[in-house]
A and B are shown apart, each in its own frame.
Chain A
């Protein structure tokens, strides 16, 4: 399968079993739209997931796929990618899967910079277990397991990934189709671990978590759309911007002596700026969407292949010699 592939080639015959109205449907649709455009034969895609609503994803994409166990998709994907570097490997995970039970694997994946794509569906709630708070839920979240409010501070997934050494960090949202398509293409093009947080509405257990970012009337006031080389400007009338005082961001009103030239300019290769952006959150700041950070660094699987090539430069291993070992004697 190669040229001429279309969305329907990536649809399976399995009945999709997410709740009606779930944000996952929109994400699935964008993935199925983008995959045929990437120039990769369908048989070379592998989707690997853990456990949770988002992790049912592989059943619905007509590629190779593994629906794994809770939190361990990065481990499975690592073994696969190291063994088969030519495959396009995509990890689909959620806030609980990736950041709670699988937190250890995600940070090590980023550190090693394997050339895989991570789509983290962040709905800030546990859906499949029916509504407990997640490691990205806001403090004070009242759920079945936290009737008086959650007590622990949430992770910011992007800051966590930057801290772990990720080379590509981006954020999208389920209903912004064009933005998401662009991020999927960028993630695929990036050579190294591409981490895409996708804010996703759970309409059953955490409905409206991202309304401010999706509501037509308000979203331009709450979303900072990132574009490499462009000033950090937002607002329906592009009348507000982000200025840096030293390393501290502040929202400024444009006009009245302040213009776009006073705003910070986005640079995807600036790790300090990425750190600042990853920590910008409402209510004080708009939510940055787009590519926060993208740099090139060596990939683990390439290093593995290079070492093997180096070891084999003097010729492949000799099994008979290995069996004999260094020192033998003959009994006659």
Chain B
């Protein structure tokens, strides 16, 4: 085993948290490097949150800012909720990566660059007129120029690799160096390299050598005099793994289907950043999962609805543009009252927008984006790992209430990862499903008195042949009916059915004082930044609370009462103010929005500043 230990000659400093960002060209392997550093940090016992940030272009012109791919990781000895506002250590593989990321490095932060990549050509491509390593512009940080390419190539020289192949191992040299810097256990990375390149032994050796060369360099170079120790966090006991939002969603679907004892059918059309759910489920055929790569977004949801009619758990996954296209089929699913789960990984819009960047601007589309009165339950996970429980609940609600359900994840949750306390199957909520088989007294739109759900009947059941369709229908029989009262009754029944789901929610959790100056109301992936900000404000003596919504429709029954206990309601969202509009309309509270649409999550500091401004305004008013 190789330890990322520092020699006794060097100083070790203890830090509570560290924020590391690895940045390079799309082809430099920054996402792999970041993922490995995440695994090592989890193994080191730290709590952590990650933020992968990559371009939509697969191979943008090398060396240009358009092609820069970055991976940010905060690991900590305490609980962390965000990837960190400011970067402590930035690794920049070329001038473009430096230029795109240097502004986020905190003053005095560590900058490690591949000095050889700072050629005239690369500097020009990045838009530098002078070499920033030489012109003094980086004086505010600690710069460590390392000959990464030469050292990597030298370590691999007798392996018979081409220059290109050897250069591609630069990222593992950097991983080795960073692992040394933070005393990371690298054996988990070594295991990964061995399994990843099992069929190409020369690359196993090459990447392991590059990794070790990076460690050894850190150990021996006079350049780096200090290494950092981040002790393990205090974490609830149990078995953990790291998980990102899309993986959590995929395994939640399989788990829910298993618990419901029904086949899982995914109908999906590839779209960033949702495709990984399709990929993950396509590799899980041993669970009987059917994945159908449809000809378009509409066929994706249409096939899922057809599967649901056949008695399967029908699921479709998409991102913004696809959500637009699925609207009509959602309406049909609402009208024929079949269970269906639609997972929307929100991304920056409108139109193609910034496909790999995060946003929360699909909320109103999910809530209202269908013609006619067409309510659906809308759920939103707050963290990557929470994608598991929220998607699981979406399946549970869909089959219990015979309704389509929308889950609003986003690019940040989909690709971000965190440690997850792995549940055992025994801990999962049961999902009982009973298909109707008794023809006695059967009509397709009879109602369960508790849930108002109609019966689910599998085709192939004798005596229960029936037709469902998008035309208006009479209550009970489901016969086509344009009778005015029939229509209103059915519209109201479906609305009441969806509204009734709120009975299943746990009481709202209020973080902080039960009443006071300010409550920050959030939903979805802004959870971490809001919670951290509110915690810091509370520590500074401010009377601020945080309420976070996992249920956007129906809203929790106690939300209005909770909000009414604060003088101010602030709603930070990665959109121009969608939830704030809903809560103002629903509860007549003077809620204030806080918008950001930059394709990036909120920083903790941004929310603190906004809260302080609100509170200061109040103080000014009080003084006046």
Q: Which residues of A contact B (CB under 8 A)?
A: 1, 12, 14, 41-44, 46-48, 51, 58-59, 62-69, 72, 74-84, 86-87, 104-105, 108, 304, 307-308, 310-312, 314-317, 319-320, 322-332
Separation of A74 and B311 alpha carbons in the complex (Å): 18
Cβ contact within 8 Å between A312 and B285: yes
Cβ contact within 8 Å between A332 and B306: no
Cβ contact within 8 Å between B287 and A75: no
Separation of A143 and B171 alpha carbons in the complex (Å): 67
Q: Which residue of B lies closest to A57 (CB)?
A: B467
Separation of A327 and B299 alpha carbons in the complex (Å): 36
A128 → chain B closest CB, angstroms: 12
- Binary A-proximity of B449-480 (CB < 8 A = 1, otherwise 0): 00000000011111111111111000000011
Separation of A51 and B296 alpha carbons in the complex (Å): 19
Query: Which of B37-45, B151-159, B535-543 forms contacts with chain A?
Result: B37-45
Q: Which residue of B lies closest to A17 (CB)?
A: B480
A43-B461, A323-B255, A329-B240 are contacts. A79–B314 as well, Cβ < 8 Å? yes
Chain B residues near A63: list those with CB within 8 A: 465
Q: Which of A47, A75, A108, A329 contacts B306 (CB 8 A)?
A: A75
Q: Which residue of B lies closest to A301 (CB)?
A: B290
Q: Which residue of A lies closest to B255 (CB)?
A: A319
Cβ contact within 8 Å between B311 and A84: yes
A307 → chain B closest CB, angstroms: 6
B431 → chain A closest CB, angstroms: 13
Q: Which of B254, B285, B422 contacts A308 (CB 8 A)?
A: B285
Chain B residues near A317: list those with CB within 8 A: 254, 258, 284, 286-288
A44-B459, A72-B299, A83-B263 are contacts. A308–B292 as well, Cβ < 8 Å? no
A67-B471, A319-B258, A331-B45 are contacts. A84–B465 as well, Cβ < 8 Å? no
A75-B298, A78-B306 are contacts. A325–B286 as well, Cβ < 8 Å? no
Separation of A326 and B239 alpha carbons in the complex (Å): 12
Query: Which of B230-238, B408-416, B524-532, B554-562 forms contacts with chain A?
Result: B230-238
Separation of A312 and B466 alpha carbons in the complex (Å): 34
Cβ contact within 8 Å between B311 and A83: yes
Separation of A330 and B42 alpha carbons in the complex (Å): 11
- Binary A-proximity of B169-180 (CB < 8 A = 1, otherwise 0): 000000000000
Cβ contact within 8 Å between B470 and A68: yes
Chain B residues near A108: list those with CB within 8 A: 294-295, 299
Supply 10 further A-B pairs (C-beta < 8 A) apart from A105-B298, A108-B294, A330-B240.
A42-B465, A74-B299, A75-B294, A78-B292, A78-B303, A79-B308, A83-B265, A319-B254, A324-B422, A328-B241
Cβ contact within 8 Å between B295 and A104: yes
Cβ contact within 8 Å between B303 and A79: yes
Cβ contact within 8 Å between B239 and A328: yes
Q: Which residue of A lies closest to B299 (CB)?
A: A75
Chain A residues near B295: list those with CB within 8 A: 104-105, 108
Q: Which of A1, A12, A104, A311 contacts B462 (CB 8 A)?
A: A1
Identify the 7 closest CB pairs spanning chains A and B, nearest first: A67-B469, A75-B302, A79-B306, A79-B303, A311-B285, A317-B287, A80-B306
Query: Which of B140-148, B328-336, B571-579, B588-596 forms contacts with chain A?
Result: B328-336
Q: Which residue of A lies closest to B469 (CB)?
A: A67
Separation of A226 and B268 alpha carbons in the complex (Å): 41
Q: Which of A75, A83, A105, A314 contacts B310 (CB 8 A)?
A: A83
Q: Which residue of A lies closest to B288 (CB)?
A: A308
Q: Which residue of B lies closest to A307 (CB)?
A: B285
21 A-B pairs within 8 Å (CB atoms) are namely A59-B480, A67-B468, A67-B469, A68-B302, A72-B298, A72-B328, A79-B310, A80-B307, A82-B290, A87-B459, A104-B296, A308-B289, A314-B286, A317-B254, A317-B288, A324-B239, A324-B422, A325-B247, A328-B240, A329-B239, A330-B240
Q: Which residues of B contact A (CB under 8 A)?
A: 39, 42-43, 45, 188, 235-243, 247, 251, 254-255, 258, 263, 265, 267, 284-290, 292, 294-296, 298-299, 301-312, 314, 328-329, 331-332, 336, 422-425, 458-471, 479-480
Best-buried of A304, A322, A329 by chain B (most CB within 10 Å):
A329
Cβ contact within 8 Å between B462 and A66: no
Chain A residues near B242: list those with CB within 8 A: 327
Chain B residues near A328: list those with CB within 8 A: 239-241, 422
B242 → chain A closest CB, angstroms: 8
Chain A residues near B479: list those with CB within 8 A: 14
Separation of A76 and B263 alpha carbons in the complex (Å): 17
Q: Which residue of B lies closest to A332 (CB)?
A: B237
Separation of A77 and B303 alpha carbons in the complex (Å): 7
Chain A residues near B311: list those with CB within 8 A: 83-84
Best-buried of B42, B251, B299, B304 by chain A (most CB within 10 Å):
B299
A255 → chain B closest CB, angstroms: 51
A317-B284, A319-B425, A329-B43 are contacts. A76–B306 as well, Cβ < 8 Å? yes
A66-B309, A317-B284 are contacts. A327–B39 as well, Cβ < 8 Å? yes
Chain B residues near A307: list those with CB within 8 A: 285
Chain B residues near A72: list those with CB within 8 A: 298-299, 302, 328-329
Separation of A77 and B265 alpha carbons in the complex (Å): 13
Best-buried of A14, A58, A78 by chain B (most CB within 10 Å):
A78
Chain A residues near B299: list those with CB within 8 A: 72, 74-75, 78, 104-105, 108
Cβ contact within 8 Å between A64 and B237: no
A46-B459, A104-B296 are contacts. A329–B309 as well, Cβ < 8 Å? no
Cβ contact within 8 Å between B329 and A66: no
Q: Which residue of B lies closest to A105 (CB)?
A: B299
Separation of A46 and B328 alpha carbons in the complex (Å): 22
Chain A residues near B305: list those with CB within 8 A: 76, 79
Cβ contact within 8 Å between A79 and B292: yes
Separation of A69 and B335 alpha carbons in the complex (Å): 11
Q: Which residue of A lies closest to B289 (CB)?
A: A308
Cβ contact within 8 Å between A323 and B461: no
Chain B residues near A87: list those with CB within 8 A: 310, 459-460
Chain B residues near A76: list those with CB within 8 A: 302-303, 305-306, 309
Cβ contact within 8 Å between A82 and B469: no
Chain A residues near B458: list those with CB within 8 A: 84
